[in-house]
Structure 1
Amino acid sequence: MRAISLLEPEKFSHVDVQAPASPGPGMALVKTHRMGICGTDLGGYLGKFPFFGYPRIIGHELGVEVLEIGEGVGNVSVGDRCSIEPYLNCGSCYACRRGATNCCQTNQTLGVMCDGGLCERFVIRADKLHASRTLRYEQLALVETLAIGCHAVDRGDNGEGDHVMVIGAGPIGLSAIEFARLSGAQVTVVDMVESRLEFCRQTYGIENLIRFQSPEQVSEEVQRITGGDRYAVVIDATGNPHSMTGAMHHVAQTGTLVYVGITNQNLTFEHATMHKPEMTIKASRNALPTDFARIIRLIEEGTIDTEPWITHRVSFDNMIAEFDSYTRPETGVIKAVVDVSGEQQ
């Protein structure tokens, strides 16, 4: 069976792997149709993502078709089109018992800690499948990205009308922007790449856009936009330690800073920076099952339009040759999607 494996940083290879057996109880055999390439995949490719293991068949943003179901499966049927919730939680640890399945102590994320969906077929727990009768595989492949931003905004817990800053307008930042906008927040976006800021203007009508040039320049813009209040919630989606530390200076008194980007480097700051405003600092990891159901409904209703996000499409056979270009902002990539099956949506 065909698959693509990331053997080590910056080295993909086409590989043959054993075809999966029929699914056992509670499991489903699925066929991968579309796979979204996200920041985690790019970080794994560059050797910068802390949870990545090699060699690895990547792929956790997936639009799949159910081919066969095991005994006791009732939430999906053969032929269903599904998005995959790729966080394989244990169900029994402290976090799982509290309903925080996204923070399972022994979580295995598809395509990161264990092999993912950049292959023809694989077996997955059926409870991780979220079906839609109307969405295309391409749309279903973007649900997981949106879920990350949805969860990050929920972690920030802003009120309607609050000033919310999102730093980093890559796919994860865009997903946070989507849900901050839906919450009724006054959204400001910060990025170093003008084309990404222009995307936010054209797609979402956001006018508070800051192209990062220096910390002092950003601080001046923050003062102007918020009237000196700064931001009730700041969401940093960069994974850049300098940005993540600097983000603290934009949080309002009693405000919240949410780190949804990940770095394997140390963050260093003066304690007074967070103590003086009585700042709350939160991490945001993965997403919850309810996020997936909500997002599928919002796309089905037309509240969320995924079409502007997909700037690059590539075939399974050509992915290795094209992948490196997706690491460079000058290529204009927002979201690249791999056509794994070569079949129509």
Structure 2
Amino acid sequence: MLTVICESPGVLRAQQSEVPARSAGEVLLRVSRVGVCGTDLHIFTGTQPYLQYPRVMGHELSGVVVEADSESGLVAGDGVYVMPYLSCGKCVACRQGKANCCVNIKVLGVHQDGAMTEYLSVPSQFVHKAEGVTLDQAAMLEFLAIGAHAVRRADVQRGQRVLVVGAGPIGMAAMIFASLRGGRVVCLDTRADRLSFCTTHLEIEAAVAVGPDDAAQLASLTDNEFFDVVFDATGNINAMNRGFEFIAHGGKYTLISIVPGQVSFADPEFHKREATLLASRNATPGDFDTVLEAMRGGHIPDAALNTHRMKLEDVPSEFPRLLETGQTVVKALVEC
């Protein structure tokens, strides 16, 4: 089978490898689609903090069952999606139903080889039928579920003023689900093309470009009160630290981003607001169900979100182009 390996930062290689042998309790999949995530771009550029090379990237995937145990409830030919967070089921987080932050988590494509290959064998508890959605849509469930999880963590309520800083795919996912909960959503980003995409395809109230007067614009949009809920989806430590300035009194700040650095803020400003600071990591099965329901109801502009496509065999040559200036990439799908 064909497999694409990231040998080291900036080096992708296509090679032939053996079809994996399925163990008891696993499902052998024929991979159909793989979504390219910011994590994959960080792996390629050498800025992913939890990785050792070489690595087969890819954790957003859909596929078709080739072989499964009878007790799994899956049969050959089933279209499926995979929850790529392989949790232990035993640690303190898993015992609380928070397998998304499992102490011993192994994420496909990060901690172990992922889906940029033709066949993959995965423990059956992480494989679910993609009923009522296409395989393209199923491959986009994971990044959307991360946004849905963050919105649920922040408990966005109808009528609340919501700011999403960072208009990449995860930020867009947060915008979508905050809007579906009735939030009044504003996005803040440095890129005019991303802001334009959000105003065209997502149900947001305003888009603000980062610049000398951005704080004044955000203040004006909120009667100088700023935002009940702020999300950071930038992956930029300076932006993460600055986001504390935009929290309304009594508000919440949810960090979807992760960076290898120290988050800092002025305690008097944080304290006088009685602000709440939240981390949001990965997603739970319930978050995937939320996305599936929204997709089936036609509430996700998935066709617009899928801006780029490439064949698996073309990944070594096409993947670097996703980083080129001028490419308005939201979600690229690899066809296996």
Does structure 1 conserve the Cα–Cα contact (< 8 Å) formed by 2:179 and 2:204? no
Shift of 1:327: 2.1
CA distance in 1, matches of 2:234, 2:175: 13
CA distance in 2, matches of 1:292, 1:269: 33
1:124 matched to 2:122? The reply is yes
Deviations 1:184-209 (A, max 9, x none): 00000001111111111111242411
- Between 317-326 and 188-197, report the one with greater CA deviation: 317-326
Deviations 1:302-323 (A, max 9, x none): 1223110011111112111121
Q: What is the TM-score when the length of structure 1 is the normalising length?
A: 0.94
Does structure 1 conserve the Cα–Cα contact (< 8 Å) formed by 2:33 and 2:335? yes
How do 1:14-163 residues align onto structure 2 when only pairs under 5 Å count? 14-24=14-24, 26-74=25-73, 76-163=74-161
Does structure 2 conserve the Cα–Cα contact (< 8 Å) formed by 1:161 and 1:185? yes
Does structure 2 conserve the Cα–Cα contact (< 8 Å) formed by 1:2 and 1:14? yes
CA distance in 2, matches of 1:40, 1:128: 20
CA distance in 1, matches of 2:110, 2:52: 6
Does structure 2 conserve the Cα–Cα contact (< 8 Å) formed by 1:23 and 1:70? no
Unaligned runs of 5+ in 1: 341-345
Shift of 1:326: 1.3
- 2:296 counterpart SS class: helix
CA distance in 2, matches of 1:313, 1:253: 44
Partner of 1:172: 170
CA distance in 2, matches of 1:205, 1:297: 18
CA distance in 1, matches of 2:194, 2:249: 29
- 1:50 counterpart SS class: coil
- Between 61-70 and 296-305, report the one with greater CA deviation: 296-305
CA distance in 2, matches of 1:101, 1:328: 36
Does structure 2 conserve the Cα–Cα contact (< 8 Å) formed by 1:130 and 1:292? no
Q: Which amino acid aligns with 1:39?
A: G
Shift of 1:103: 0.5
Shift of 1:329: 5.0
Does structure 2 conserve the Cα–Cα contact (< 8 Å) formed by 1:23 and 1:69? no
CA distance in 1, matches of 2:164, 2:325: 18
Q: Which amino acid aligns with 2:194?
A: R
CA distance in 2, matches of 1:182, 1:160: 9
1:221 matched to 2:217? The reply is yes
Partner of 1:237: 233
Identity of aligned residues (%): 35
Deviations 1:274-321 (A, max 9, x none): 222111111100000111122122212212231100111111121111
CA distance in 2, matches of 1:14, 1:206: 41
Does structure 1 conserve the Cα–Cα contact (< 8 Å) formed by 2:184 and 2:205? no
Q: Which amino acid aligns with 1:19?
A: V
Shift of 1:136: 1.7
1:261 counterpart (252, 257, 261): 257
Shift of 1:132: 2.3
1:324 matched to 2:323? The reply is no
Aligned length: 336
Shift of 1:51: 1.5
Query: What is the aligned-residue RMSD (CA, Å)?
Result: 1.3
Change (3 A) 1:329 1:274: farther
1:246 matched to 2:245? The reply is no
Q: Which amino acid aligns with 1:198?
A: S
Q: What is the TM-score when the length of structure 2 is the normalising length?
A: 0.97
Partner of 2:6: 6
- Between 205-214 and 92-101, report the one with greater CA deviation: 205-214
Q: Which amino acid aligns with 2:232?
A: D
Q: Which amino acid aligns with 2:30?
A: K
- Between 77-86 and 165-174, report the one with greater CA deviation: 77-86
Shift of 1:71: 4.8
How do 1:195-214 residues align onto structure 2 when only pairs under 5 Å count? 195-214=193-212
Q: Which amino acid aligns with 2:193?
A: S
Q: Which amino acid aligns with 1:8?
A: S
Does structure 2 conserve the Cα–Cα contact (< 8 Å) formed by 1:50 and 1:264? yes
Partner of 1:343: none
Point out 4+ residue stretches in structure 1 off by more than 6 angstroms: none
Shift of 1:181: 0.6
How do 1:174-189 residues align onto structure 2 when only pairs under 5 Å count? 174-189=172-187
